[in-house]
A and B are shown apart, each in its own frame.
Chain A
Amino acid sequence: MVKTGESSARSGDESSLIKRLQAGEQAAFDEAVRAYTPSMLLVARFYLDPASAEDAVQEVWIKVVQAIQSFEGRASLKTWLHRIVANQAKDGLRKAGREIAMDFSEPLEPALDSRFRTRGTWSEPPRLKTTESAEQWLESGALKACLDKHLTALPEQHRSALMLYEAHQHKSEDVCNILGVSASNLRVILHRARQRIFLMVETFRETGKC
């Protein structure tokens, strides 16, 4: 294996894990499954429903048993796995004759956009206090339950992109490459998810309803 600059910067842990995977060591696979499956599922769920995503990731792991032999270490193990998952999931979509619609062009949630006058001033300004903190939001059990519910209700694609973004320590190029979305689309996804949470908390504070 030729060492590139990138692979020599790899942590010793990852190199030794890769060697053990290539040697077919079961314990190494157990470790890798635990470490990488959660984010692999996120990638798959960007394209597929939850059950199909689980199947796709399962199939990828079986493929990896052989494919790891040809892993050359040009990318990190995680990125390599994510790429295989994305390809597998896109294949699944093609076979099902489906395509994912990606319209991330509108930066504002309709429910927020409708609160401005045509000339761009507020007609219905935010009703939440400016001084509240996120900690205060999370202190209330009922509000927290409502947040959980709304997070689960985010469009699957948005949620998976967001969570990958967080899981990758905000390295947005990685997330964009794997999901095939532009950096500006990712910014819009992020912005709209925040707006949804804000609108939800506002309604909850006023009506007590989730």
Chain B
Amino acid sequence: MLMCRDLAVVASDYIDGELSPGQRLSVKVHLMMCRHCRALVNNLRNSATVLQKHSSQQVNEDYFRRVKLNIAQALQDSRDKNS
């Protein structure tokens, strides 16, 4: 029988559909009976959404400029070497 802590351990796998059909069924049965675990699953699902929305990486323009300058220099060097 699945305890609440066991459910907490697999909650993300349940949310992402990574459980086997058998495990999935026992999680569903537990959730029908346990409002605390329902609250946990709902909140972790919200957390997953929040994490997804915040996953874009900002790079500052100054860094891009420096990288481009260095590449321009390296391209120039390799042209000089080949000519």
For B, the interface residue count at a CB cutoff of 8 angstroms equals 46
B interface: dominant SS? helix
B30-72 interface code vs A (CB 8 A; 1 in, 0 out): 0000011111101111111111111101110001101110111
B54 to chain A minimum Cβ distance, whole angstroms, is 5
Whether the Cβ atoms of A58 and B70 lie closer than 8 Å is yes
Is the C-beta of A24 less than 8 angstroms from some C-beta in chain B? yes
Can you offer 28 A-B residue contacts whose CB atoms are under 8 A? A24-B78, A26-B72, A30-B68, A33-B67, A41-B57, A41-B59, A58-B66, A58-B70, A62-B74, A66-B74, A119-B3, A120-B3, A122-B36, A130-B35, A132-B42, A132-B46, A133-B46, A138-B53, A162-B51, A163-B55, A166-B55, A187-B18, A191-B12, A194-B12, A197-B50, A198-B43, A198-B44, A201-B46
Question: A-side interface residues toward B, CB under 8 Å?
Answer: 24, 26, 29-30, 33-34, 37-39, 41-42, 54, 57-58, 61-62, 65-66, 107-108, 112-113, 116, 119-122, 125-126, 128-134, 137-138, 147-148, 151, 162-163, 166-167, 187, 190-191, 193-198, 201-202
A-B pairs, 10 with minimum CB distance? A120-B3, A166-B55, A125-B36, A134-B49, A197-B47, A191-B12, A120-B5, A134-B46, A194-B47, A126-B39
